[in-house]
Structure 1
Amino acid sequence: MAVLSTGRVLGAVVGIYAAQSIVGGLVFQSVPAVLRQQGQPLGLIGLVWLLMLIHALKFLWSPAVESLRLRPDGTRHSRHIILSGQLATALLLAVLAMAGTDTVTLFAILALATIATATVDIACDAFAVEQLPRQARGWGNAMQVGGAYLGIMLGGGGFLIAVGRFGWEPAAMAIAACMVVFAIPLLLTPEPLGDAARQAAHRPSLRDALRRPAFRIGLLTVLAAQIALRIGYGMLGPFLIDRGFDLETLGWLTGLGGTLAGLAGTIVAATILAHHDVGRVLRLAVATQGVIFILLAAAAMTPDLPREALMALPLLLGFIAGASFVVLYSAMMGWATGPQPGVDYALLQSADAALAAIAGMSAGLLGQFIGIDACFVLAAALALVMAVLLPGLARRAERGA
């Protein structure tokens, strides 16, 4: 059975996740900021997070995608699924360029693009799990998260900068073109044959994943690790807009600056993971999230805080978010190394996405009715509590994987 070189896999992984994350950056960073500048209420902005429910539900069709991806003769069709989905998404982004910012049309097009990327995610994650050797998993996750940050930088901060300078249509056409460019490394990467006997004998199903106790503990670990970040991060853009930051400045700060900080976090986390237990590293990352959310809450309660201090906080949060994702995704890969990695990983990500949707909408309502500072206080408290629980959960899931 042919095996791809690790370097080639890492290059393809960067391109895959950069392309996938363009839509995420657009939906969850750019659109909330644009809507806020137009004077839309936080309650409406929070509805953007309903689109995350699509990612939360993708586990329902993951067995069908996995059955299409893994054929009984040993062939794998990950590339075909990924490239087809990314082309469809690029076309939708081109339509978005011409459609403008009418709220109903905007939500409809973004919903279709999110369905496409959620479906492609199943094949993306399976490709990464299958092609990355265990010893390269930490750096593979760094490339995965790094590529995702690159896509978020373009769909989030880069898009905001382009909108501020050139307008909506050129900005949307530019990110559609980026989607096509990022597909090239995978297009040039052949996919090795799988184990024909194993693929023919196994029928992908949700039941196969959920019947494993260790996998269920892994699901719980994902929720515990992500709940604070999902509640607090969603209010960062609206908070800075309310403090007088314009879209272009916000784009540079949370887009380029936050992305570079996140990339630094991925490198630091990958290095630490090579020498330390994943549960302990995850506890450190989540506890640090708690400290940063305490600082954000204090900033939200201090109207005359200098602008420079406000600008430092998103960078700190971006750094620790990048580190947290690398550690968590490394653990998730270990829990999804069975005969149906697409289904297993989709379930883990769906749990995170469901949490993000619920937390994002809840944060929007909290911000509207009792203040953004309350969101940051809640996020800080949850992070500090979960940091205590995470090492034990991660060890139990790892022992059963």
Structure 2
Amino acid sequence: MSAAAGAALADAAHRGPVARLVVGLGGLYVAQSVIGGVIFTGLPAVMRKSGASLDDIAFILLTVLPWSFKFLWAPAVERFRSPHGGVRRSRSAIALFGAFAVGAVIACALIGPTALGPLTVAMMVASFSSATIDIACDGHAVESFAERDRGWANAAQVGGAYLGSAIGGGLFLVLIDHWGWQPATLVMACALVALAAPFLLTPDGAVAARQDKPPQSLKQALKRPEIRSGLALVALYVLGQKVSMLLVGPFLVDAGLSLTAIGTLNGLGVTALGLAGALGGGWILRRIGAYRVMGWTLGIQMLVMLAFAVVAHLKLDAPVALMAIYLASAGTLALGFVALYSELMGRASLDQAGVDFTLFQSMDSIVSLVGWRIAGYAGDRLGYAACFAAAAVLALGVSTLIPRFARAQAG
């Protein structure tokens, strides 16, 4: 038997049943997003209620920066997780950094929401650990899912993000309201352990990496044209889909929707549609392909932005219509990103899957942050209608470029 055939059989044996993989990885993705929901949504609300200034709240949100720059330490994580000629250690890597994440959340419970300095340090440790787990988790997913099943992997990733955000940014606040900061935060720590358990307690079935596998590095990734074109694809798609999302929440408030209505919309409607879009994406991708889904979702996003622009320009009093438009955007966003990351999975090398996929995610995060900053600046000066109209034009422009990536990949 040839070495290539032997490696193929070993990889085939390493790929477990799809349902088991989806449950295990889905739990990890939910757990990571629980931490993100606590930082992004839960903690700012608690701090504000405790009398913190907006400057203090903005300062602690810097703890999410590890997610933008995790590509810098991704090669080191992958060299530990998948050592040269050694057995893959996905569970060991995730258990190690998961312990740091849980410990940091427990520390937050003991510190309290008013001690800004220690709380920032603890949340930075939690964020760094969570981002590092994501590197190992993505590498394991690329290795474990066959090409035809990658839509399910990305459904677990995107759906997990929605569900985790609902827990960390919704349930967390409800628990604080009833039980207080410390018990609620300790419940979040326990939730992280419970969510990771299905993955950590399942036999790994890992195989040794090839002896001739090149060392994992950013340089190795950027040498490959499919990675460079994948980074361009991420940047363009994120600009077309996400750049205006920062303005939607403030626009709904200014349009007269109550905080209760917006909270219910986010907690129930957006989460339900996001999960439906994510889970439906795995089924749809197997039938029509990632690039067609991306093109369609960009077209829907263009219509959504035009609808927001019309409502803003005419100053219409249409709360029900606004909520419907917002929900359409949420479902479309989830479906589109399942398609995008399914395509990107195919570009990641099995020799350094975590490094390659982390580069794509970091590009997503960095472009999102820059785009939101520009959108916020333009929104203050040009108004909602102009910004939403510009976002619609941008989505249309990106949708015309997507087929070029499909043709280039096919060639």
Equivalent in the alignment of 2:145 = 132
Once the two structures are TM-superposed, the CA of residue 180 in structure 1 deviates from its matched residue by 1.5
Verify: 1:182 aligned to 2:198, yes or no. Answer: no
| Letter of the structure 2 residue corresponding to residue 99 of structure 1 | G
Within-5 A mapping of 1:189-228: 189-196=202-209, 198-199=210-211, 201-228=213-240
> What per-residue deviation string (whole Å, max 9, x for no partner) do you get for residues 299-318 of structure 1?
44565624333332332121
Once the two structures are TM-superposed, the CA of residue 143 in structure 1 deviates from its matched residue by 2.1
1:343/1:128 CA distance change after superposition, 3 Å: same
TM-score by length of 1: 0.87
Q: How many correspondences in the alignment?
A: 397
Helix, strand or coil: the match of 1:23?
Answer: helix
Once the two structures are TM-superposed, the CA of residue 63 in structure 1 deviates from its matched residue by 0.8
| Whole-angstrom CA distance in 2 between matches of 1:308 and 1:288 | 19
Q: Please tell me whether the aligned partners of residues 255 and 317 of structure 2 are also in contact (alpha carbons under 8 angstroms).
A: no
Once the two structures are TM-superposed, the CA of residue 47 in structure 1 deviates from its matched residue by 6.9
> What per-residue deviation string (whole Å, max 9, x for no partner) do you get for residues 197-246 of structure 1?
x2553211111111111221111001111113332223333334445656
Within-5 A mapping of 1:309-324: 309-324=321-336
Q: Please tell me whether the aligned partners of residues 52 and 353 of structure 1 are also in contact (alpha carbons under 8 angstroms).
A: no
Helix, strand or coil: the match of 2:219?
Answer: helix
| Whole-angstrom CA distance in 1 between matches of 2:173 and 2:234 | 30
1:239/1:80 CA distance change after superposition, 3 Å: farther
Q: Which stretch of structure 1 is more off in the superposition, 123-132 or 248-257?
A: 248-257
Within-5 A mapping of 1:118-157: 118-157=131-170
Once the two structures are TM-superposed, the CA of residue 399 in structure 1 deviates from its matched residue by 3.6
Equivalent in the alignment of 1:351 = 363
Q: Please tell me whether the aligned partners of residues 19 and 86 of structure 1 are also in contact (alpha carbons under 8 angstroms).
A: no
Verify: 1:361 aligned to 2:361, yes or no. Answer: no
| Letter of the structure 1 residue corresponding to residue 201 of structure 2 | L
- For structure 1, the residue ranges without an aligned partner over 5 or more in a row are none
Verify: 1:114 aligned to 2:110, yes or no. Answer: no
Verify: 1:230 aligned to 2:239, yes or no. Answer: no
Equivalent in the alignment of 2:23 = 11
Equivalent in the alignment of 1:22 = 34
> What per-residue deviation string (whole Å, max 9, x for no partner) do you get for residues 46-97 of structure 1?
7777555422211111111111111234311111221222232223223334
2:343 corresponds to which of 301, 307, 331 = 331
Q: Please tell me whether the aligned partners of residues 143 and 350 of structure 2 are also in contact (alpha carbons under 8 angstroms).
A: no
Higher relative contact order structure (alpha carbons within 8 Å, sequence separation ≥ 6): 1
Q: Please tell me whether the aligned partners of residues 156 and 279 of structure 2 are also in contact (alpha carbons under 8 angstroms).
A: no
Once the two structures are TM-superposed, the CA of residue 249 in structure 1 deviates from its matched residue by 4.4
1:58/1:266 CA distance change after superposition, 3 Å: same
| Letter of the structure 2 residue corresponding to residue 25 of structure 1 | G
| Letter of the structure 2 residue corresponding to residue 85 of structure 1 | F
Verify: 1:239 aligned to 2:251, yes or no. Answer: yes
Larger radius of gyration: 2
| Whole-angstrom CA distance in 1 between matches of 2:252 and 2:117 | 25
Equivalent in the alignment of 2:5 = none
1:367/1:155 CA distance change after superposition, 3 Å: farther
> What per-residue deviation string (whole Å, max 9, x for no partner) do you get for residues 76-125 of structure 1?
11112212222322232233344215666655443332211111111010
Percent of residue pairs bearing the same amino acid type:
38
Equivalent in the alignment of 1:266 = 278
Q: Please tell me whether the aligned partners of residues 70 and 77 of structure 1 are also in contact (alpha carbons under 8 angstroms).
A: yes
1:77/1:44 CA distance change after superposition, 3 Å: same
1:348/1:49 CA distance change after superposition, 3 Å: farther
1:75/1:59 CA distance change after superposition, 3 Å: same
Equivalent in the alignment of 2:86 = 74
1:279 corresponds to which of 261, 271, 291 = 291
Once the two structures are TM-superposed, the CA of residue 6 in structure 1 deviates from its matched residue by 2.1
TM-score by length of 2: 0.85
| Whole-angstrom CA distance in 2 between matches of 1:206 and 1:16 | 25
